[in-house]
Structure 1
Amino acid sequence: MGRTKQAARNIAFGYVGQIATALMSFILRTIFIHYLNEELLGINSLYTNVLSILNMAELGIGTALNFSLYGPVARGEKEKIKSYMQLYRKAYHVIAMVVAGVGLALVPFLEYMVKKPGCITKRDMVLYYLIFLFNTVSSYFVAYKYSLVNAQQKNYIQTNINTITKIAVVFCQIIVVLTTGNFYLFLIVDAVLQLIQKIFVSRYLDKLYPYLRERNIDPLTKEESDTVWSKTGALVFHKVGDVARLQTDALIISSFIEVTMAGVVDNYNMVVSTVSNFVNIIFNSVISGFGNLIATESKEKQYDMFRVYRFFASWVYGFSAVGFMVLLTPLVKVWLGDGWILAPAAVYCFLTDYYFKGDRIVLSNYKTAAGVFEQDKYLALIQGAVNLVISIVLVQTPLGITGVYIGTVVSGLIANITKPVIIYKACFDRGAGEYFVDTVKYLASMVAVLAVCNYVSTFVLRSMNYGTIVLMALIITVIFNGTYFVLYGRTPEFKYLVGKVKERLHFS
């Protein structure tokens, strides 16, 4: 099956899964807020972020090995695949032990991370945390097996398994909250069902790839091992910097403001991530396809596909960013009430970073597929340091939570400026001037449409309810996509995308 068809299959299954899990998650969040207290919502958000920080122990070994598998998979080199997977398995077992050790070492410091915990005792804080830690550590014993599935562009297998598990977990958690209101049972249900899933996945993938259980495995050559560890070494910097930039906001908010505010922010994050997950399904589904493209096609062909990829991202992220900037706060207000609203400045900063993240995802996904890790390995560290310094300083000023997101925006823009220069030179042997011209063009288009939509919303949203929000969403859809069609409908990138859609419709 070709790259385009594999990507289309991954996207289709990804959408089905995302729709199902999004609906269940919104129902669960609404019930959680009404039946459990705000502090527990904040704890849930905080610990999720703390464990994301602990995942830093993976330090990029998975990304480096995924890249290393693209070539052997494309060439059908079974013995070489076995060798890489053996290295991957050993590395992840060590990582699981490291995460467990570091996670346990953090237990004495939990009380300092949770400001104004309300009725939550220190004992509860620790036990809740240990359940979260168990979930994280146990995942490492299975996660490495997905690498071969994804290298073969069969991401839909992982998507389907995760979707079924998520639906089962959320359904059981809803029952627990409604019948008992017990947060311990809420977490234990998740842990037990996730453990069952991991056991199933391990056995299923063993049957799918029986040769991975063979004992006659040749070790990698020194050159191959050195390549993996060299790229892993570079990815250590990326991982540490990304964690400092992307995973610390909830921790800063919980430590310097209060833990309940982390829950308020998490509601906004949930709405945005639900929509962005639909977007990211498209972009993440083509990473392995890009890996195959880079392994088999010319740089000119690679560059043309990158421009299409980047154009599509600018369109989709611009459209969703405008929708969020106009409708996110009204939606939260109608959904949960005035007590769950964030300051408008904080929301705009948060969504500004979301828009520019679209460009960063394009750049990061392409360089991941191309194995370009060493050239910008210090950049993520700089970003992380800038984010922490600005966020921690400004959160203690009258800006408060807005200051946290100013740090996020500023640190993100560093990558938007520097990564194109690095990647264009490393991957395409050309300057990035054209990239920045396109950036200004796409940004100006988005801002112009946003101004028009904001003006229209002052009339449509005078009476705020789900009906007027849906109406405004339809208006934004027409204005944004109509404007972009007029502006960019004759570009080669747009024509290529239309051609691919027509191919799929004709194929169907």
Structure 2
Amino acid sequence: MRAQKSAKNIIVALISNALNIVLGVVVQSIFLKTLGEEYLGLNTVLTSILSMLSIAELGLGSAIIYNMYKPIANKDKEKIKSLMKFYKKCYSIIIIVMLAIGLIVSIFLKQIVGETQTIQNLYLLYFLFLTDVIFSYTIAYKRSIIYANQEEYLTNIVHLIYLVVMNGLQIVFLYLTHNYCVFLLIKLGCRILENVLINIIADKKYPYINEKDVKELDKETKDDIIKNIKALFFHKIAGFVVSSTDTILISVFFEGLVTVAYYSNYNLVLSAITTILNQFLLSATASIGDLLTENNKERNYEIYKKLNFLNFVIFIIGATGMACAIEPFITIFFGEQYILSKFILISLILKFFIQGMRRPLMAFKEAAGIFYVDRFVPILESVVNLVASIILLKICGLAGIFLGTAVSSLVILLYSYPKYVYRPIFNKRLKDYYLEFIKTILYATVIIGITMGVNQLIRVSNIFAEQVLSVVVAIIIPVIIITLVSGRTEEYKYYINIIKNILFRKKEVKQ
């Protein structure tokens, strides 16, 4: 049952995210042609600025899901009702705090955005963006119960509808109006529609959450939640600093919104690949939470090794895909003038891969509810990120910002995760972890280097043929190397057997 739900979540999420990528590329390409570089830069900067509002959420979403695993496993509806009532109250307060933060940020908006030639009604656009972000949190507690029940595919189906309707309307109205305000109004309207549909699904699947006879949450659970929320606050700050300040630093230290627009095209591809690859692990997190209730350290480690191997394979293919195929992709959809230097591309790939290596232990960390003991580590990560990015941007230019982010991720990979997650959950030596980490980095460097070398040998005059061949090389070469080097490992055999079972089943059905 656990595996079936994970598989269903992954399949629906992959379809949803694949469609999101296709539509995202089409919309951004049309956006750039109809509204221009400054508006694209503004859209990216506003997205980064308003991600700051997630700090106000205090990590409540993670705390919700963690505290629901046990009552869901025990079918304790009374406890679930109490939790939901408590979370609803919390989110009401959070929305008010978000609005207050949004208003304060608006005071500094012009300083962050800088001088512009074409942007009109800046504050109106900002408040439309702000309203959309706030609406995304109005039923967050109901999303959480769906997720904790390992039925994330339901919210992904709704999100699929949201994407198709929103992007379809945005494309039409970009051509008809060339108006960014209309673009944002469509996004807000579709957000409200998505919320209504998720609310209906949650009420229908779990009708007991709306019952009036709800007990107050017991003090012990409440204290535990508050303790975790206090710890998660630091994680939220780090999440914002690490994921969103790149864009803000580019806007402040370089040529404003135009440079942000150049980066935005690369970031679109980077985010799309990351979202799809992360989905494998995000969809498995609830199942890991269920697994951890069994308290079997050897079983936990066995699952971790399989998950870590899968994570390596998909992120290395993502990295080689970026290395080989992103330049022809940018040329086709946005124009050759938007190509950034090789050094900047390598820095983006390094940032992408190192952050990707965090995912397996992050999944175990969140599923185990490890939020408090490492509460100050994210602050260290944030400081390292800002200091390293500012120092390196002065030395390396734009690439330095991304290298700084990669450096800060090492704080988590080399200190926090081995100490607070790897050793306690698996009861293994830290020496084993560090040796595995060094091997992984060397392995990845060899694979990326060989793949880029082979790709350089491809010379075709047609840009579309180059794009296709680059994608093929980016997939085939890593798979060949991984098969030769790791083909005898238990993890490799495990996934090959899964693929064989799927293929043979399909053949049996056809017969």
TM-score by length of 1: 0.96
Deviation at residue 407 of structure 1 after TM alignment:
1.2
**Preserved CA contact (<8 Å) 2:65 2:148:** yes
C-alpha distance in 1 between matches for 2:72 and 2:502: 26
Q: What amino acid is aligned across from residue 247 of structure 2 in structure 1? A: A
User: In the alignment, does 2:158 pair up with 1:153?
Assistant: no
* Matched position secondary structure for 2:117: coil
Indicate the residue corresponding to 1:98 in structure 2: 97
Deviation at residue 265 of structure 1 after TM alignment:
1.0
Indicate the residue corresponding to 1:235 in structure 2: 232
Deviation at residue 138 of structure 1 after TM alignment:
1.6
**Preserved CA contact (<8 Å) 1:42 1:259:** yes
Deviation at residue 360 of structure 1 after TM alignment:
0.8
User: In the alignment, does 2:73 pair up with 1:67?
Assistant: no
Q: What amino acid is aligned across from residue 111 of structure 1 in structure 2? A: K
C-alpha distance in 2 between matches for 1:421 and 1:466: 47
Q: Deviations over 1:291-312 (max 9, x none)?
A: 0000125111111101111111
**Preserved CA contact (<8 Å) 1:461 1:469:** no
C-alpha distance in 1 between matches for 2:398 and 2:75: 51
Q: Deviations over 1:380-429 (max 9, x none)?
A: 1111111112223443x263312211211111111111112321222122
Indicate the residue corresponding to 1:266 in structure 2: 264
**Preserved CA contact (<8 Å) 2:169 2:186:** yes
Indicate the residue corresponding to 1:479 in structure 2: 477
2:168 maps to which of 161, 168, 171:
171
**Preserved CA contact (<8 Å) 1:115 1:256:** no
C-alpha distance in 2 between matches for 1:84 and 1:331: 47
**Preserved CA contact (<8 Å) 1:46 1:250:** yes
User: In the alignment, does 2:5 pair up with 1:6?
Assistant: yes
**Preserved CA contact (<8 Å) 1:387 1:407:** yes
Within 5 A, what are the aligned runs for 1:23-102?
23-102=22-101
**Preserved CA contact (<8 Å) 1:349 1:406:** yes
User: In the alignment, does 2:394 pair up with 1:404?
Assistant: no
C-alpha distance in 2 between matches for 1:176 and 1:354: 34
* Matched position secondary structure for 2:221: helix
Q: Deviations over 1:314-351 (max 9, x none)?
A: 11111211221222233213432232122322221111
TM-score by length of 2: 0.95
Question: Greater shift after overlay, 150-159 or 328-337?
Answer: 328-337
Indicate the residue corresponding to 1:120 in structure 2: 119
**Preserved CA contact (<8 Å) 1:165 1:194:** yes
C-alpha distance in 2 between matches for 1:272 and 1:464: 24
C-alpha distance in 2 between matches for 1:393 and 1:495: 45
User: In the alignment, does 2:315 pair up with 1:337?
Assistant: no
C-alpha distance in 1 between matches for 2:207 and 2:420: 41
C-alpha distance in 2 between matches for 1:329 and 1:387: 27
**Preserved CA contact (<8 Å) 2:361 2:422:** no
Indicate the residue corresponding to 2:411 in structure 1: 414
Q: What amino acid is aligned across from residue 149 of structure 2 in structure 1? A: Q
State the percentage of identical aligned residues: 28
Unaligned regions of 5+ residues in structure 2, if any?
507-511
Deviation at residue 464 of structure 1 after TM alignment:
5.9
Unaligned regions of 5+ residues in structure 1, if any?
none
* Matched position secondary structure for 2:107: helix
**Preserved CA contact (<8 Å) 1:375 1:422:** yes
Aligned residues: 504
Indicate the residue corresponding to 2:378 in structure 1: 380
**Preserved CA contact (<8 Å) 1:346 1:402:** yes
Deviation at residue 58 of structure 1 after TM alignment:
0.5
Indicate the residue corresponding to 1:390 in structure 2: 388
**Preserved CA contact (<8 Å) 2:324 2:452:** yes
2:298 maps to which of 278, 297, 300:
300
**Preserved CA contact (<8 Å) 1:73 1:152:** yes
Indicate the residue corresponding to 2:466 in structure 1: 468
Q: What amino acid is aligned across from residue 378 of structure 2 in structure 1? A: A
Question: Greater shift after overlay, 130-139 or 448-457?
Answer: 448-457
Indicate the residue corresponding to 2:131 in structure 1: 134
**Preserved CA contact (<8 Å) 1:343 1:402:** no
Indicate the residue corresponding to 2:426 in structure 1: 428
Question: Greater shift after overlay, 442-451 or 276-285?
Answer: 442-451
Deviation at residue 67 of structure 1 after TM alignment:
0.3
Indicate the residue corresponding to 1:282 in structure 2: 280
Give the 3 Å change call, closer, same or farther, for CA 388–78 of structure 1 in structure 2.
same
Indicate the residue corresponding to 2:220 in structure 1: 223
Indicate the residue corresponding to 1:109 in structure 2: 108
Q: Deviations over 1:109-136 (max 9, x none)?
A: 1100012322214xx1111100010011
C-alpha distance in 2 between matches for 1:310 and 1:432: 16
Indicate the residue corresponding to 1:250 in structure 2: 247
Question: Greater shift after overlay, 464-473 or 97-106?
Answer: 464-473
CA RMSD of aligned residues (A): 1.6
**Preserved CA contact (<8 Å) 2:68 2:145:** yes
User: In the alignment, does 2:450 pair up with 1:456?
Assistant: no
C-alpha distance in 1 between matches for 2:401 and 2:434: 27
* Matched position secondary structure for 1:475: helix
Deviation at residue 495 of structure 1 after TM alignment:
2.0
Deviation at residue 506 of structure 1 after TM alignment:
5.7
Q: What amino acid is aligned across from residue 132 of structure 1 in structure 2? A: F
Deviation at residue 502 of structure 1 after TM alignment:
4.2
Give the 3 Å change call, closer, same or farther, for CA 81–474 of structure 1 in structure 2.
same
Q: Deviations over 1:255-307 (max 9, x none)?
A: 22111211211111111222222211211100000000001251111111011
